[in-house]
Amino acid sequence: MSETIFEICDLVKQFPALTAVDHVSTTIKRGEVVFVVGPSGSGKSTFLRCLNMLEQPTAGQILFKGKDVTKHEISLNSFRQQVGMVFQHFNLFPHLTIHKNITLAPVRTHRLSAKEASEKADALLKRIGLYDKRDAYPAQLSGGQKQRIAIIRALAMNPDVLLFDEPTSALDPEMVGEVLSLMKELAQEGMTMVVVTHEIGFAAEVANRVIFMDQGKIVVSGTPDEVIKNSEHPRVRDFFSKVL
Amino acid sequence: MRRLLFLMAALVLCFCGCREDVQQQKKLVMATNATFPPYEYVDKGRIDGIDAEIVRRIAMRLGYDLEIEDMAFDAVIAAVQTGKAQVAASGITVTEDRKQKVFFTDSYVIAAQVMIVLKNSPIKSAADLKGKRIGVQRGTTGESYVKDNIQEPERFQNGPEAVTALANGKLDVVVIDGEPAEAYVAKNPNLKILPEPLVQEEYAFAIGKNNKALLDKFNAELRKMKESGELAAIINSYRKTRLIVVFPANSGTEKLYTQSVLEQIAERLKFKIEFQDGNLENVTAALNVTRKQLIVPMIPLTAEEENLFPNVGKFTAAEYVVVVPEKSPILKFSDLNGKKVGTRKGSFAEHYLEKHVYPPQTFPDAATSIAALSAGNLDAVVIDKNTALNLLKNNKNLKIMPGTFARETYVFAAGKENPDVLKEFLASIKLLQSSGELNAMLEKAGEAHKTPRQTVAPVQENAPAMTDTFWGSIKFSFYNNFIKDQRYTYLVQGFFVTLQITVLSVLMGIVIGFLVAVVRSTADITGKLKLLDGLCRIYLTVIRGTPVVVQLLIIYFVIFGSVDVNKVLVAVIAFGINSGAYVAEIIRGGIMSIDKGQMEAGRSLGLSYGQTMREIILPQAFKNVLPALGNEFIVLLKETSVAGYIALQDLTRGGDIIRSQTYDAFFPLIAVALIYLVVVMFLSWLLGRLEKRLKRNE
């Protein structure tokens, strides 16, 4: 089997009022497309945010390519440069042009020279058909366009893995398609992806593996067929019967 | 940002530089309140007066570089106590209270506190003061005397302000030192000084208790100056008799001639001279006080009017005669009408003929006009008698007509207590006449008149006359407040000081504000920097919880209490620190208003906290808070108007100085307000444009 990207052991994240992630352990390998699904408040977003340390875990280990990133001696910045993140609300930088949005991080973190970053940004923009928006500002784009820009902004860093936090939840229905098809393309190219989503149909189509979370715990984990269609677990069956 | 830091560094360097100066050169700082003529006053932008002159000479002899600091009177004693100044010289009266705080030198003058009242005031003597509205200058003996012996007085920052209040009917009486009182009253004909002084007092210089050595040196020098008569000479030279020349409102070209003659006389006899436009009433009013001054009314007076003056002396500078050929048909002066009359250009005779007969032909000098007469080109020549007698010695064909054609006569009037002033003056001017000096002056006056005299006395020439019409009095007031003595320069210089303080403190405020805002928000977002955050909170609480004037005074008198430091720098530090607190909270608000997704997006891309702050959060925050920041700077610009508290001559203080000279509140205050308004409007416009530019990408 291929290289292990993430190895998560007994991950716990406690907030003052609740335990959002409760002893979660799993492994994500290179090239895997893992979808995390579950009811609202099940802790799936918090779990995802722990993966790039946007949330500081309360206990447990996260090994990224063999190194424990919860330890202080690890450089968080260089770790995060290898882990891309796509947010529900895009979080583009409104005061910068699209081109600058994409090139800022690669240049500032010295992963690419200004020239390389610029060329790479242009290539990515052409690929998603938004090259004409190169010098526009985020406010001039539609939601779907913004989210696709956010995805290639993460891609421009050449990450080992992309994390998606409900990437289509804030979109108007007619714009969901363009984002999903870009994600599908990336999945088919072998990008390692961890996706938190409510798009169960899309998960069934694209995922290698689906994790069902509830109350901070992994309830079941397996192929889409196993989890979505044929789970024996009553809570899982109940959930999918409502959303499908 | 880097440029700002550089600026700060420059400020700090400048500050260190100032300190070094003190140590290397022997500098003597004299604290004074320059609104107290003749002891100290601002003349053409420089502090002059009896105190300044005595201290200047002593400082020179002791080998010091003298620096004079102008401040409020109640601050001068504090200045020597704290060591900001080594000597206070401000017409300070020796009192027991003050002796507790500072050393006094031997007294150099004995002066009186007098009462100024309106002309028609029912107050006749000190006995009438009880229950009246009494104005005093804060920190003066007048204040403590009135408080201890009569009642609580109303206190004013300086003498002119109290006198202005009196003139405007807000007070019944002003108690103030005698000599400045005379100067104040001289400028305001509705006021008078009561003949009997309220109390006598001694003036001396104050020196810090820790500086006995300097005290001894000062006393030694003062003693020497007293013995040699130098001290009396200095004081007398500042108490020069004033020659007040009053011209009628419609005076013609002869005014220039007369001015020139009297200016020369005044200069020669070491008098001060002032020119006024006005009517006879002003003239008599000015005489009713016991002042060392002579009034020269150039207004024709009837015998009855002359009787109004208790002491009048007439002086004829020259008599003019008519020279005609031996067999001339001109037999009496009225025959001159319609004839060709010649005279010396620019002479009194020219003006006289122009006014009373008809315009004469003029010649560069008397001899040429006589030659023209001999040659038959003229029918008559009018020249002064002495010159005529001289020129006709060798000319048998010409004769002098009997009688005096015109007299160049000046009337001098003195107050009723001062007949001696008039006598002395008339005696000395007669000496000038017999020595021939006066004649030379008359000729020179004519010479000066030939070339435009703009350079000599432009101010008087263009002065609009004070008239009774509404526009006339406005015009006069405008002229008096801004044009006369170039008073507008107080506003111009003040404006630049205000701008300098504002711009530099805005820069300092931004730097402090940014740093504090970043520390505070970093502590809020990441939970780090707790110690720094605590310090910042204390800074914000203290600065926002106390008035800026108090902060300014604390920085000047306490923090820089014993250091000599540029006052603009003090103001910049005070206003910069003050503004920084407000800017910090504005910017912090801006930072907190940015969606936290922006920070997460930056961090998730592997940017550091600092990079994200700089590249992503702060630019957006800055744009959001720009209107609030702009507002803060407008507030700051106006707040700098309190810089006058540490005697900085900013715009507001510039207006105050004009008010203290003209006793007129309207124009100086309105002008100051307008200047602030225009600058604020300009700033608002500029900010509007900047906002628009930053909004382009939304």
What is the average per-residue pLDDT within A134-153? 94
Please name which of B259, B249, B240, B245 lies closest in space to residue B295, comparing C-alpha atoms: B245
Distance from C-alpha of A219 to C-alpha of A235, rounded to nearest angstrom: 9
| Residue count (chain A) | 244
Q: How many CB atoms lie within 10 A of CB A34?
A: 22
Specify whether the CB–CB gap between B446 and B346 falls below 8 A: yes
Q: So what's the pLDDT on residue A23?
A: 92
Q: So what's the pLDDT on residue B71?
A: 86
Strands A193-196 and A161-165: parallel
Helix (H, G, I), strand (E, B) or coil at A42: coil
Q: So what's the pLDDT on residue B574?
A: 95
Query: Six-digit token pair at B450?
Result: 């030939």
| A 119-158 residues inside an 8 A Cβ radius of B | 137, 139, 153-154, 157
pLDDT tens readout for residues B673-698 = 999 999 999 999 998 888 888 776 65
Query: Six-digit token pair at B599?
Result: 């920070």
Mean pLDDT across chain A, nearest whole number?
92
Q: So what's the pLDDT on residue A221?
A: 92
Q: Which residues on neighbouring strands pair with residue B325, listed in sequence order? A: B398
Chain position carrying tokens 């201290």: B55
More reliable by pLDDT, B354 or A95: A95
Q: So what's the pLDDT on residue A57?
A: 93
Distance from C-alpha of B166 to C-alpha of B184, rounded to nearest angstrom: 11
Q: Which residues of chain B have pLDDT under 70?
A: 1-25, 44, 239-240, 248-253, 270, 276-292, 299-306, 308, 416-418, 446-468, 562, 564, 661, 663, 696-698
Query: Six-digit token pair at B119?
Result: 């002309």
Q: Which domains does chain B have, with CATH numbers?
A: 23-107+205-228 (3.40.190.10), 109-203 (3.40.190.10), 238-447 (3.40.190.10), 486-696 (1.10.3720.10)
Q: So what's the pLDDT on residue B288?
A: 53
| A 42-61 residues inside an 8 A Cβ radius of B | 52, 54
Query: Six-digit token pair at B280?
Result: 């006879």
Q: So what's the pLDDT on residue B513?
A: 94
Q: So what's the pLDDT on residue B291?
A: 56
Distance from C-alpha of B437 to C-alpha of B440, rounded to nearest angstrom: 5
Return all residues near B381 (Cβ < 8 A) that are at least 6 apart. Answer: B322, B323, B324, B341, B342, B343, B366, B369, B370, B372, B373
More reliable by pLDDT, B270 or A46: A46
Q: So what's the pLDDT on residue B287?
A: 60
Best probe of the B interface among A46, A52, A95, by most B CBs < 10 A, is: A95
| Shortest alpha-carbon distance between residue B685 and chain A (Å) | 23
Question: How far apart, in Å, do the first and last CA atoms of chain B sit?
Answer: 25
Indicate the pTM of the whole model.
Answer: 0.58
pLDDT tens readout for residues B111-122 = 788 899 998 888
Q: So what's the pLDDT on residue B417?
A: 62
Residues of B in contact with A109 (CB under 8 A): 605-607
What is the average per-residue pLDDT within A122-131? 94
Q: So what's the pLDDT on residue B16?
A: 44
Distance from C-alpha of B636 to C-alpha of B680, rounded to nearest angstrom: 11
Local structure of residue B11 (DSSP, 8 states): H
Judge whether residue A16 has pLDDT over 50: yes
Q: Say yes or no for a CB contact (<8 Å) between A104 and B615.
A: yes
**B597, B598, B615 member nearest A108 (Cβ):** B615
Query: Six-digit token pair at A127?
Result: 């690929």
Q: Say yes or no for a CB contact (<8 Å) between A77 and B623.
A: no
Specify whether the CB–CB gap between B502 and B637 falls below 8 A: yes
Residues of A in contact with B590 (CB under 8 A): none
* ipTM of this complex prediction, to 2 decimal places: 0.93
The Cβ-side half-sphere exposure at B433, using a 13 Å CA radius, reads 14
Distance from C-alpha of A195 to C-alpha of A34, rounded to nearest angstrom: 6
**A81, A91, A108 member nearest B600 (Cβ):** A91
**A89, A94, A105 member nearest B605 (Cβ):** A105
Distance from C-alpha of B166 to C-alpha of B156, rounded to nearest angstrom: 11
Q: Which residues on neighbouring strands pair with residue B411, listed in sequence order? A: B314
Please name which of B215, B221, B220, B216 lies closest in space to residue B234, comparing C-alpha atoms: B221
Cis peptide before B38 (omega within 30 of 0): yes
